[in-house]
């Protein structure tokens, strides 16, 4: 009976997932495997072949290097921040965590636009530099500006999961480790970090995915000079109206995410943290 | 048990009905789909006050985006504002309704120079809205010598001082004209040459931008930009150090027109709205606000002299004679896309 009950209570969700998640994915796969010829749809691998053209490979490489750098920087910045926010001194001061969330209340586009007025030639930073007699610099419309925009926008997605995992750790485990003679470095490397791996893994996926598929950050802060995968897909759907090629690129992107997801969950298991939960 | 099934089914239904209601909200409104920054929005309010018809207003950033949403997206609109070559394409694909000019008596106010154009030869599907040119906007305090040629876009001394549109068709205009080819070329070899020219230009370009280019030119972020005439009027108004020129080699002249897409639910209200836009006082208010040149002969008579003297707003006839219209490229548009992607991917 409880099992039957559970099954029925999940029905609305299943219906939702079917209509709004599974069906669209199937449609994208269908589009990616067809080409239009004389008003007819033909099954073909043409779109996938096209995606491996050197022009598009350049775009994939650039996207990969930017999103991997973004994820690495977010991890290096985010872990210590999450650690501090989750530490006993600050855990009750939810106000601090709040400060990291407040910018997210503002529209994502607006936040990205405001970086333009900070970085541009007559923007905040350069005006300040000029005022104190220092030479100005071209800060906007390059890969560094895109990377900055990504890190700025996606950092909270790294901090939050790590922080919530770290907050849940058992103080008694740490005390036990200390009792057994572990110094603070060993406590961290042998205990706290392995325990926080699930948070790190979900933080990495939550940063890596939007960083790989973003198109608006590279448009606004990169001056559209260095096309990323997201821009390529957007262009195929909105400007060129070639949904078939756009879908093929989307499917490739999904496969990349799926593969990285698989690797991460394998790491997750290797660390043996599953036992503790 | 039975009850639980019922509850589950009811929940499913509730979700679907909710979505249905959500999607169909405001079915009776007039749905207008226009370019961003391309109308004095108080005109929408005035229309609602005068007729009682509510307007659901949405914006797009390019002809191609509007086309994609109508063609594949299943979006329904009553009013769209495509550019000449896109009207040509949509007529060919049977995507536009024929207009009932009995409902648009103000059509008589439109200057006959702008009707019966090559994209809609019978003037059956569209009513001209605005017109303009593509040209160079430059900051007179940041350039040296006279700017009158597309060559400045390849001038090494302006490295990092050049802004371009992130729009495929518009960006190819200077390159194709500089090479002496038609902006509507269907020759792969000519397109390749233009592409290589744009790739060679890339190190000099500060950024490829959309509407925000106006702000960047006004605040002096760059010295030279490729820009639509109407945007230039706006920029010059904000920063008098800016000037606009149609290069001597020629350029692109374009016409945007109002049309009703097939599948419109509210055709009569749409024609009422088109008629409203053609009313001289409304057309005048609109052109003064957005800075693009009017097609309305009656509104033209009331234009303030400073607009008429502004070569960006009303260029001399001999400059227009040097300009060419964009045409629909058909399947060759795909080749332009590949070439443009190669420029941006480099």
Worst-scoring range by mean pLDDT, A18-27, A91-100, B190-199, B211-220?
A: A91-100
Q: What are phi and psi of B80, to 5 degrees?
A: -135, 160
Distance from CA of A120 to the nearest CA of B (A): 7
Q: Which residues of A touch B221 (CB under 8 A)?
A: 120-122
Q: Judge whether residue A30 has pLDDT over 60.
A: yes
ipTM for the complex shown: 0.80
Cα–Cα nearest to B255, from B66, B110, B59, B73 = B110
Distance from CA of B334 to the nearest CA of A (A): 7
Q: Judge whether residue A91 has pLDDT over 70.
A: no
By the CB < 8 Å criterion, does A227 face chain B? yes
Class of residue B18 by CB neighbours under 10 A (exposed 0-12, middle 13-18, buried 19+)? exposed
Is the Cβ–Cβ distance between B117 and B91 less than 8 Å?
Answer: no
Q: Which residues of B touch A122 (CB under 8 A)?
A: 219-221
pLDDT at A95: 80
Worst-scoring range by mean pLDDT, A240-244, B115-119, B132-136?
A: A240-244
Any residues with CB less than 8 A from the CB of A110 and at least 6 apart, and which? Answer: none
The dihedral region occupied by B116, where left means phi > 0, alpha psi between -120 and 50, and beta the remainder, is left
Q: Which residues pair with B253 in a beta bridge?
A: B133
Q: Judge whether residue B283 has pLDDT over 90.
A: yes
Three-state SS sequence of chain B: CHHHHHHHHHHHHHHHHHHHHHHHCCCCCEEEEEECCCCCCHHHHHHHHHHCCCEEEEEECCHHHHHHHHHCCCCCCCEECCEHHHHHHHHHCCCECCCCHHHCHHHHHECHHHCCCCCCCCCCCEEEEEEEEEEEEEECCCCCCCCCCHHHHHCHHHCCCEEEECCHHHHHHHHHHHCCCCCCCCCHHHHHHHHHHHHHHHHHEEEEECCCHHHHHHCCCCCEEEEEHHHHHHHHHHCCCEEEECCCCCCEEEEEEEECECCCCCHHHHHHHHHHHCCHHHHHHHHHHHCCEECEHHHHHCCCHHHHCCCCCCCCHHHHHCCECCCCCHHHHHHHHHHHHHHHHC
DSSP, collapsed to helix, strand or coil, labels residue A43 as strand
Asked if the Cβ–Cβ distance from A56 to B9 is below 8 Å, we say: no
By the CB < 8 Å criterion, does B9 face chain A? yes
Q: Mean of the per-residue pLDDT values for chain B? A: 91
Determine the Cα–Cα distance for residues B36 and A224; give it in Å rounded to an integer: 19
pLDDT at A5: 82
Over the stretch A227-251, which tens digit does the pLDDT of each residue have? 999 999 998 888 888 889 999 999 9
Residues in chain A: 277
Q: Which helix (H) or strand (E) holds A245?
A: helix A243-270
Cα–Cα nearest to A153, from A120, A118, A113, A108 = A108
Structure tokens at B201: 């230009």
Determine the Cα–Cα distance for residues A154 and B34; give it in Å rounded to an integer: 33
Any residues with CB less than 8 A from the CB of A41 and at least 6 apart, and which? Answer: A34, A35
pLDDT at B10: 63
Q: Mean of the per-residue pLDDT values for chain A? A: 88
Distance from CA of B282 to the nearest CA of A (A): 32
Residue of B nearest to A19 (CA): B16
Structure tokens at A185: 């470095």
- Long-range pairs for B5-10: beta carbons < 8 A, 24 or more residues apart: B5/A8, B7/A8, B8/A8, B8/A9, B8/A11, B8/A12, B9/A11
pLDDT at A275: 38
pLDDT at B26: 53
Asked if the Cβ–Cβ distance from B345 to A4 is below 8 Å, we say: no
Asked if the Cβ–Cβ distance from B207 to A225 is below 8 Å, we say: yes
- Identify the residue among A4, A236, A239 best suited for mutation to test binding to B, counting B beta carbons within 10 A and taking the highest: A239
CB pairs under 8 A between A and B: 93
Q: Which residues of B touch A237 (CB under 8 A)?
A: 68
- Identify the residue among B207, B217, B239 best suited for mutation to test binding to A, counting A beta carbons within 10 A and taking the highest: B207
Residue of A nearest to B205 (CA): A225
Mean pLDDT calculated for residue range B198-221: 93
Cα–Cα nearest to A100, from A157, A169, A164 = A157
Q: Which residues of B touch A11 (CB under 8 A)?
A: 8-9, 11-12
DSSP, collapsed to helix, strand or coil, labels residue A48 as helix
By the CB < 8 Å criterion, does B141 face chain A? no
Q: Judge whether residue A277 has pLDDT over 50.
A: no
Give the confidence band of A66 by pLDDT, cuts at 50, 70, 90. Answer: very high
pLDDT at A40: 81
- Which stretch, A18-22, A69-73, B207-211, has highest mean pLDDT? A69-73
pLDDT at B75: 73
pLDDT at B6: 63
What percentage of chain B reaches a pLDDT higher than 70? 91
Asked if the Cβ–Cβ distance from A11 to B166 is below 8 Å, we say: no
| More reliable by pLDDT, A275 or A1 | A1
| More reliable by pLDDT, A164 or A170 | A164
| More reliable by pLDDT, A109 or B13 | A109
| More reliable by pLDDT, A203 or A102 | A203
- Identify the residue among B68, B83, B215 best suited for mutation to test binding to A, counting A beta carbons within 10 A and taking the highest: B68
Q: Judge whether residue A89 has pLDDT over 80.
A: no
- Identify the residue among A112, A238, A246, A249 best suited for mutation to test binding to B, counting B beta carbons within 10 A and taking the highest: A238
Q: Which helix (H) or strand (E) holds A266?
A: helix A243-270
Q: Judge whether residue B60 has pLDDT over 50.
A: yes
Class of residue A67 by CB neighbours under 10 A (exposed 0-12, middle 13-18, buried 19+)? buried
Q: Which residues of A touch B207 (CB under 8 A)?
A: 140-141, 223-225
Give the confidence band of B9 by pLDDT, cuts at 50, 70, 90. Answer: low
| A238 vs B65, B210, B341: nearest CB | B65
Residues 81-100 of B with CB under 8 A from A: none
């Amino acid at each position: 009976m409880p099992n039957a009950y559970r099954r029925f209570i999940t029905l609305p969700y299943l219906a939702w997932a079917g209509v709004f998640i599974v069906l669209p994915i199937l449609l994208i796969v269908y589009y990616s495997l067809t080409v239009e010829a004389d008003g007819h749809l033909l099954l073909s691998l043409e779109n996938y072949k096209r995606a491996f053209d050197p022009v598009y490979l350049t775009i994939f490489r650039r996207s990969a290097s930017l999103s991997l750098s973004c994820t690495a920087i977010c991890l290096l910045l985010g872990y210590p921040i999450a650690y501090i926010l989750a530490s006993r001194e600050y855990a009750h001061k939810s106000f601090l965590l709040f400060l990291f969330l407040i910018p997210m209340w503002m529209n994502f586009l607006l936040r990205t636009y405001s970086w333009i007025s900070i970085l541009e030639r007559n923007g905040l930073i350069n005006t300040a530099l000029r005022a104190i007699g220092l030479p100005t610099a071209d800060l906007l419309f390059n890969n560094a500006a895109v990377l900055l925009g990504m890190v700025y926008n996606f950092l909270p997605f790294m901090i939050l999961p790590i922080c919530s995992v770290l907050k849940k750790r058992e103080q008694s485990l740490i005390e036990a480790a200390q009792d057994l003679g572990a110094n603070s470095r060993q406590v961290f490397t042998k205990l706290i970090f392995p325990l926080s791996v699930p948070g790190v893994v979900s933080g990495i996926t939550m940063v890596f995915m939007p960083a790989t598929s973003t198109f608006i950050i590279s448009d606004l802060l990169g001056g559209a000079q260095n096309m990323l995968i997201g821009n390529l897909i957007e262009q195929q759907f909105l400007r060129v109206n070639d949904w078939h090629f756009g879908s093929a690129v989307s499917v490739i992107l999904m496969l990349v995410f799926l593969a990285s997801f698989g690797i991460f969950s394998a790491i997750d298991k290797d660390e043996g943290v599953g036992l503790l939960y | 048990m039975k009850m639980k099934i019922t509850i589950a089914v009811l929940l499913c239904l509730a979700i679907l009905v909710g979505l249905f209601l959500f999607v169909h909200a405001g079915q009776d409104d007039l749905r207008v789909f226009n370019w961003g920054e391309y109308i004095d929005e108080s005109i929408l309010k005035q229309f609602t006050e005068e007729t009682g018809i509510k307007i659901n207003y949405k914006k797009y950033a390019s002809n191609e985006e509007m086309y994609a949403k109508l063609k594949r997206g299943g979006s329904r609109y009553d009013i769209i504002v495509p550019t000449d070559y896109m009207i040509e394409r949509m007529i060919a694909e049977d995507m536009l309704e024929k207009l009932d000019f009995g409902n648009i008596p103000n059509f008589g106010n439109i200057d006959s120079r702008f009707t019966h154009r090559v994209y809609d030869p019978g003037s059956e599907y569209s009513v001209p809205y605005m017109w303009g040119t593509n040209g160079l906007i430059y900051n007179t305090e940041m350039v040296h010598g006279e700017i009158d040629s597309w060559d400045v876009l390849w001038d090494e001394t302006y490295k990092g001082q050049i802004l371009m549109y992130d729009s495929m068709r518009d960006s190819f205009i200077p390159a194709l004209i500089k090479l002496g080819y038609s902006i509507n070329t269907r020759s792969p070899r000519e397109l390749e040459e233009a592409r290589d020219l744009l790739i060679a230009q890339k190190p000099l370009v500060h950024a490829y931008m959309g509407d925000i280019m106006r702000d960047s030119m006004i605040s002096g972020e760059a010295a030279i930009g490729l820009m639509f005439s109407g945007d230039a009027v706006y920029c010059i108004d904000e920063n008098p150090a800016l000037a606009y020129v149609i290069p001597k080699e020629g350029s692109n002249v374009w016409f945007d027109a109002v049309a009703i897409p097939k599948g419109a639910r509210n055709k009569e209200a749409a024609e009422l709205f088109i008629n409203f836009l053609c009313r001289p006082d409304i057309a005048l208010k609109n052109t003064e606000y957005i800075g693009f040149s009017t097609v309305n002969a009656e509104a033209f008579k009331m234009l303030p002299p400073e607009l008429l003297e502004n070569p960006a707003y009303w260029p001399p006839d001999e400059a227009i004679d040097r300009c060419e219209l964009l045409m629909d490229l058909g399947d060759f548009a795909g080749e332009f896309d590949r070439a443009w992607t190669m420029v941006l991917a480099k």
